[in-house]
Amino acid sequence: MKVHLILVLTAVLVLSVSCSQSASYQLSVSKSDSIRSGDKLIELFTLVNGNGMSVKVTNYAASLTDISVPDRQGNFEHVVLGFDSLKYYLGKHPKLGATVGRFANRIKNAEFKLNGQIYHLEKNNKGHSIHGGAKGFNNRIFETDTFYTVKDTAIVIFKYRSAHLEGGFPGNLNLSVAYKLTNQNEIILEYTATTDQPTVINLTNHSYFNLTGCKEPVLDHIYRINADSITPVDSTGIPTGEILAVAGTVYDYTTPQRAEKRIRKMGKGYDVNYKLNRYSDSLELAAIVVEPISGRVLKAYTTEPGMQFYIPNSNMDYLAGHDDKKYGRYYGFCLEMQHFPDAPNNPQFPTTSLFPGEIYRQMTIYKFETISE
């Protein structure tokens, strides 16, 4: 079995092909829907590339709502969990496709010290702060800055101003989130931010991928993660401060593996931060995921030092997703590019501090390909 999985990954690396289609498509970006929430307008944008791949994004939480890509036979299907109607994003759901901040993941005891001052945050997860609190960026309506095409890329840019002490975080933060779709079947996420006071920042995207076309659980996907270690956590999800080697554990995806047996062994899903193997400050490969039946492949690249690998075991059948599909248990996986959880309270971790005059920059790329049988 292990040899077979390695051969599959080799096929990904050697035989990957772009999703060429017989039909002719034109690169485009357009506003495709809108609704009002109070006095604010929530808009939906559709980006299409020259291969027919399409992406939908909204200024509500600067969210990625849909990705449609072909399988090896050229059949297009949704590969992220999401809704067909904007109104459902205003209701209960597990942050589908949302931009998460000001601080993605957890901060211990919902407090941190910066420049000698202690800041208190909202306790919204077992006495800790998670994802910026109950009113984090995933519940905010961003402004649509612009949308356009240039050369081989369709672009939508959202902006948001997070006021001083919003969620308890210091400084007025000016944030820009750009979504770009290229003719190379890449979705590029670019984040930039500035502050007028010392603060901390940790942003990510919370998309749940499912390369089966969102028809089956993701346990039989084949995962490889470019990381030799994780940041282990206590019973409440807070890092212990250690760096733990994954070799010989259920967290070892340095070679391609299915997740099903490991999840059954653990009795739960994955929710763990990987310390990515990095050799520069530029984009590096973080993970490769293969769905062998459809032939779809997702390659994830990032400038971030960490990645939260998340396969929740909670049942999402209360959600009516794309095409009215009912999402079940283990129906999505997240590759959340980030700095480490609770970094403000762990000086040995890469810093998440941002100071006036500095520019926070982050780039993540999700690239879709197919492999032959």
Residues labelled catalytic: 206, 336
Exposure string over 230-245, b if 16+ CB within 10 A, otherwise e = bbebeeebbbeeeeee
Query: Residue 34: is it exposed, middle or buried by C-beta count within 10 angstroms (0-12/13-18/19+)?
Result: middle
Q: Which of 222, 225, 280 is nearest to 247 (CA)?
A: 225
Indicate the SS3 state at residue 196. coil
CB 236 within 8 A of CB 101: no
CB 72 within 8 A of CB 62: no
Cα–Cα distance, 217 to 263 (Å, whole number): 12
Q: How many residues does the chain have?
A: 373
Cα–Cα distance, 273 to 28 (Å, whole number): 36
Question: Cβ–Cβ contacts within 10 Å for residue 151, how many?
Answer: 7
CB 299 within 8 A of CB 369: yes
CB 59 within 8 A of CB 99: no
CB 19 within 8 A of CB 272: no
Is the bond preceding 329 in cis, omega lying within 30 degrees of 0? no
Cα–Cα distance, 366 to 285 (Å, whole number): 10
Number of H helices, E strands in the chain: 2, 27
Q: How far apart are the first and last CA of the chain?
A: 17
Cα–Cα distance, 124 to 128 (Å, whole number): 6
Q: Where are the alpha helices (DSSP H) in the chain?
A: 2-15, 260-266
